[in-house]
Structure 1
């Protein structure tokens, strides 16, 4: 527990990680409200720009999917910040057992992700639905509670996946570039032949749990994301154990 407390102390005393967490919360809620307000205006005006497949349930998570970028940045900064400053040597000297050190970092990141994800998912959804006005839905709507709870798991697993990737790469720029490529997947979305494969990328698969009409079952999508996260965390442990620092 002492090692976990030490990792939590690092999180709360480093401005960059705190800023990333704040942006994740504010960005999720703010973008969600703005998007829903815009959608409400488009519905009222019967605008042709409104997507024909618009669904108020899906609109509740537009902000969450944007805010997750900040949560990914938090995970990368948590890991790579120590490598960039050279403090990783001090940390490993204080905790020679690398398995324990890594487990504590993962546990701290996961705990903080849960604390951030739960209120973010619920508040973002409710605020977005309120911004939709008469077109919004409540938590009692079919699939709504499942989607909100699923969003909490989604954000937490994406954070843990990012911790594993960052541990393998050790570079903030490289880790963020790779992770944002996974999340945004611009090539996969543009090229028709790759769209079916893109469904199994961590972000795409996990995001199915937040959709009114998912192409994968919500449970399957979360299991795929969990498998990605487990593989990344295992890779991070193996690399950390096998290198000098």
Structure 2
């Protein structure tokens, strides 16, 4: 199959995938399509299966590329028997992935009523989150998939008695990380080369995953004395 045919197949399940993304995964050694004498890529059914495996691992479990690469190496060592998608263990897991919902499309647009209905938040809580800058809509008043994730997380924390005012620190900490990570990905994101921009997006994804690992581990360590462990 040509890269265009592969893209058409994968977009049924992964609507955000692009040709730049496929080229990036090839550059990272996760798939190796054959080349025609003229230099055009030709993908086999096995190549498409590998791509589907990579995209599923990223979408459903946010696994970093180094972990996916290791699982593919295991796949190759076992004669192409597909490995099981699992979250990484205590030595390098992406915390909370077992309970996390699959990432929704970046094209998600929810009205205020829909956001409240799908998250379980009260109107007063949403208003307070917006006042504190923890959750925001776009300039047109729509909420995206990340806003829904935030709203659901806040609703879950509220069940334990945490109020929006307790979450101001999360926003502050996130802003600090954004400033730090932006310095790392901006040079790639500013390039005109689509492969460089794809690499910037993948770098951001992995930085977020590593940050989540660090945060969860620090919280667990901090709670050990309280739990008597």
TM-score, normalised to structure 1's length?
A: 0.27
**Quick check: which has more Rg, 1 or 2?**
2
- Tell me: higher relative CO, structure 1 or 2? Use CA pairs within 8 A at least 6 residues apart: 1
Task: Looking at secondary structure, tell me which structure has more helix per residue.
Answer: 1
